Amino acid sequence: MIKGIVILIMLELLAPVLFGLVFALSDKNVTGRKHLLISSFVNGQILLYALFQPITVFSVFKKKRLTYNTKVFIIAACVVLLVLIVILAARYLKRLKTVLTNPLEKVSFWGVAAVLVFVFMMIMSFFMMYTDGDDAYYVTTAAEAVASDTLYAKDPYTGTGTVSSLRYMSAPYPIWIAFLAYVSGLHVTAVAHSFFPWTIILLSFSVLFLMARSLFEGDTKKRGIFLFFSSILILFGDYSIYSPENFLLARARQGKAALAAFMLPYIVCLLICIAKELEKTGKITLRNLILITFAGFAASLCSTIGGALCLALVGLTALCFAFVYKNIKYPLLMILMNLPAEAFVLLYLVKR
């Protein structure tokens, strides 16, 4: 059990930081250790989601086994990590040393209060278990994948053989849960109900931190106030079982929760950064264009509609940029960089 917990921590905390380090260092606004750690963690998770999505869709379509999918993903992840390490050593090693030696930023009273609310949510999500009808699909699909070493081979509601995997293969988020359970050796239900909630909460709070950094540069008090009241709104936002707050706190193991509480806020945060970049320089860096592509793939992993929502956000924002900045080149690039992820939406529409 201890070994499994350590593996989960490495996969969901350490690995994202390693994968996202280059993307964090390529952002000139990242100057402190705390900002570097959080930016690396968020962008690294986006990269892992984006890498897992096409591999798993291919495996489901070809009726491969979970072990095959796991091996291919691990090999692909190792290759990507090796490339990132080479880039880090060649271009960002000096900057990494500079950022690590910078003094820590002061934390305001509001920032401390926000962290306390966040920790409270983490603790309660671990000790209080919530179940609903959707568990019969998400958790059961993941459990069946681990138990039978298959991918969507059985109907999660009846246990009978099915060919309906083609309908759901464009958003295989339950297989991500199955992958973590399979590699760690822990039971799927324990991973889904005890581990996933605080992971998604941590990711969501990290995105809010990055958004606060973008909106209130150089003002730690305003950032703290933003984080505190955002946390309060989340904590008391369970006014409906369909609210984003409910998905975050009660149904974090479902792909819809990751989409509503993590992916969509991340895309909004990325678009805010791009808007400020266009305003200052009149250009969009290659880093942000690549992250738009990764965000589309990652959103598609969480939900079938994720890719479409990502395109809607990026497309409408790009249209606004085109009118405001009188520049069609970069808004068009934004849309083009997001289009590859729409292949999963088209696949769903064709196979439904």
In tens digits, the chain (352 residues) has pLDDT values of 788 888 888 888 899 999 999 999 988 888 888 889 999 999 999 999 999 999 999 998 888 899 999 999 999 999 999 999 999 999 988 888 888 887 777 778 888 899 898 888 888 877 776 666 667 778 888 888 898 888 888 777 777 766 555 557 788 899 999 999 999 888 888 888 888 888 888 999 999 999 998 888 878 889 889 999 988 888 887 777 777 777 777 777 788 888 888 999 999 999 999 998 888 888 888 999 999 999 999 999 988 888 889 989 999 999 998 888 888 888 899 999 988 888 888 877 776 6
Q: Is the dihedral of CA 235, 241, 242, 246 positive or negative?
A: positive
> In one letter, which amino acid is 53?
Q
Beta bridge partners of 154: 161
Could you identify the residue written with the tokens 């500079």? 98
Query: b/e per residue, 119-155, with b = 16+ CB within 10 A?
Result: eebeeebeeeeeeeeebeebbbbbbbbbeebbbbbbb
Q: What's residue 298's pLDDT? A: 94
Q: What's residue 303's pLDDT? A: 86
pTM for this prediction = 0.93
Q: What's residue 349's pLDDT? A: 77
Q: What's residue 218's pLDDT? A: 76
User: Beta-carbon neighbour count of residue 323 at 10 Å?
Assistant: 10
